Amino acid sequence: MTIINGYFDELEFWDSCYFGKPIIKDNKLVIPVRNLGIYETHPLNNTDELIVLQECKLVFCDVQKSERIVYEYLGEPKSGQGFKPSYKVNDGLFMKTAEPITTFFLEGVWEDPPAYVTWEINSVSFYLEV
């Protein structure tokens, strides 16, 4: 297992990244991810172009807020039929901290139910687990 602290801005999510069900324990939020893009400026990428990690975990520590907006697909995601009305999901009741908080924005595809998701997470720190 490899852990890379920080470098969140060197990750590419958008519509090719798939999120699994988040795991919440205390103030830690772990998101299983498939097909995460890694820019050439990230320590895991030693090429001159974007690479894709097949599987990894996004780990946010001392989370203060985790809110996602879910846009479930009508039919198959690639059918072009559009979306059902969106809804918000707020994860957990997190303990407050006096430490400085960073806001992280993610977007990608929720696996079950199939949906497009935008996600805002406020936490003290972030690392990538491969």
Q: What pLDDT, in 10s, does the model give residues 35-89?
A: 999 999 999 899 999 989 999 999 999 999 999 999 999 877 777 788 999 999 9
pLDDT tens column, 82-119:
899 999 999 988 888 889 999 999 999 998 889 999 99
Give the C-alpha separation, 117 to 35, whole Å. Answer: 15
SS (H, E, C) the chain: CCEEECCHHHEECHHHCEECCCEEECCEEEEEEEEEEECCCCCCCCCCCCEEEEEEEEEEEEEEEEEEEEEEECCCHHHCCCECCCEEEECCCCCCCCCCCEEEEEEEEECCCCEEEEEEEEEEEEEEEC
Total domains, the chain: 1
Give the C-alpha separation, 124 to 61, whole Å. Answer: 6
Predicted pLDDT at 81: 83
Structure tokens belonging to residue 113 = 């139910």
Predicted pLDDT at 33: 96
* 90: containing domain: 3-129
pTM for this entry:
0.92
